[in-house]
Amino acid sequence: MKATFNGTVIAESDRTVVVEGNHYFPADGVHMEFLTANGESSVCPWKGRAEYYDVAVGDQVARGAAWSYPAPSKAASEIAGHYAFWRGVTVSD
């Protein structure tokens, strides 16, 4: 799987974990130089607290287009250390 933004691959892995239709990429497949923590978070009743990241490539920025669960609940432990994308980031195989 690949996550692409503004013509650039920002994440790639053959070991994504699919939860609720979203591909979660392991951290070693994410080009972290394109992600910046933006201080936003949300809480999922069963996964726990998500932290959001802005994705920037060139002069294009997608605010909150990536998220992760740094300390997910036991039920979602398989996505610990993984990142998912939306809001203008294309995920494809």
Residue ranges and CATH numbers for the domains of the chain are 2-88 (2.170.150.40)
Closest CA to 16 of 82, 66, 85: 82
> What is the CB neighbour count within 10 angstroms for residue 27?
13
Q: Give yes or no for a contact between 66 and 35, defined as CB atoms under 8 angstroms apart.
A: yes
Give this prediction's pTM. 0.96
- Phi and psi at 43, nearest 5°, equal -125, 125
How many Å apart are CA 81 and CA 79, to the nearest integer? 6
For 32-70, what is each residue's pLDDT tens digit? 999 999 999 999 999 999 999 999 999 999 999 999 999
State how beta strands 17-19 and 90-92 pair: unpaired
Banded model confidence at residue 80, pLDDT cuts 50, 70, 90: very high
